[in-house]
Structure 1
Amino acid sequence: MTVGIWARRAGAVMMALALASCTTTQAEFAKKPSAVSKAALCKTALETTDPAFQFQLVSEVTRRGMNMLQCQQMVIQQQQAAAALVAIAVVGTAVAVCANNYCGGGSYYQPRRYPGNCYSPNDTAADGTRCGNRSAMSRPGGW
């Protein structure tokens, strides 16, 4: 596979991980609760198992004028966006692979294969020499 395909895959994985890990820790929250993004606040409030920390998070969410239903909808939208980004990256990778490997399926035009050894000037003839001007591509009518 080409470097571009691997780069696209790596980018898709990094985007998915970045969106999936959008949470905050108790230490970050304790430093400055107002510095934590709404998305991280909501996701952490929905996922934490610590009731005291969850109470602090819900209090901060309420202070910012949101409720937990809005938080849940925000987290669902982020997860859907992450899934869409991954799907786009996967489809883009599949299209790139198919474009490079002719996996488009059958078509009405099927090119005939050249029956001899010398289709292009860089091919090797039966006697082991380079075809050069003896190739079908070099002749006025082709083959």
Structure 2
Amino acid sequence: MKLKSVIFSRLSLAVALAFALSSCTTTQAEFRKDPARVTKSALCRTFITNTDLAFTQELTGELARRRIEPIECVNMVQQENQAAAAVVAVALVGTAIAVCANNDCGGGYYPAYPAYPGNCQYEWHRDARGNRCGRRSASSKPGGW
């Protein structure tokens, strides 16, 4: 039961972070109300995603007032997106590992046959004294071991 809550919380965190970054823009009304209160990240994200030419000019003016180059916005948004993707990836991989660890889905070594209890299973093996087993081996005898 505890594992399910851990998995749910990790996935929730990843989804929340992804949505938070994708919706971290500002509206024209918020921007026009007080441009100085808009964060640099929101300003840059809005500048990059906006399609309204008049609003783009207003955003460009605010960027210039803050001495922020448009290429700086592109780089910052790209770095934020990469960081968010890394966090989401780590959360998902961690969740997958936790699920597999508790459900034994990683496989493992399962021999087709049980291990031979002695030293001489095959002819090329050596006995306790170091001599080759040869015809004394279990595989040389009728029925094996």
Aligned with residue 75 of structure 1, among 61, 68, 77: 77
Q: Hey, what does 1:133 align to over in structure 2?
A: none
TM superposition score normalised by structure 1: 0.72
Aligned with residue 62 of structure 2, among 53, 60, 75: 60
1:3 CA displacement = 2.1
Q: Hey, what does 1:10 align to over in structure 2?
A: 12
Where 1:16 maps in the other structure, the secondary structure is helix
C-alpha deviations, 1:3-44, integer Å up to 9, x for none? 221121111101110011110000110111000001100110
Q: How does 1:109-128 map to 2 (within 5 A)?
A: none
Q: Hey, what does 1:28 align to over in structure 2?
A: 30
1:69 CA displacement = 0.5
Tell me how many residue pairs correspond in the alignment: 111
Q: Hey, what does 2:41 align to over in structure 1?
A: 39
Where 1:65 maps in the other structure, the secondary structure is coil
Misfit runs of 4+, over 6 Å: none
Where 1:2 maps in the other structure, the secondary structure is helix
Please give the alpha-carbon distance, in whole angstroms, between the structure 2 residues aligned to 1:86 and 1:80.
Answer: 10
1:75 CA displacement = 0.8
Return the index of the structure with the highest Cα Rg. 2
Which ranges in structure 2 are unaligned for 5 or more consecutive residues? 115-145
Q: Hey, what does 1:102 align to over in structure 2?
A: 104
**Aligned residue type for 1:58:** T
1:107 CA displacement = 3.4
* C-alpha RMSD of the superposition: 1.9
Q: How does 1:80-95 map to 2 (within 5 A)?
A: 80-95=82-97
Which ranges in structure 1 are unaligned for 5 or more consecutive residues? 113-143
**Aligned residue type for 1:43:** R
Please give the alpha-carbon distance, in whole angstroms, between the structure 2 residues aligned to 1:106 and 1:76.
Answer: 40
Please give the alpha-carbon distance, in whole angstroms, between the structure 2 residues aligned to 1:100 and 1:108.
Answer: 18
TM superposition score normalised by structure 2: 0.71
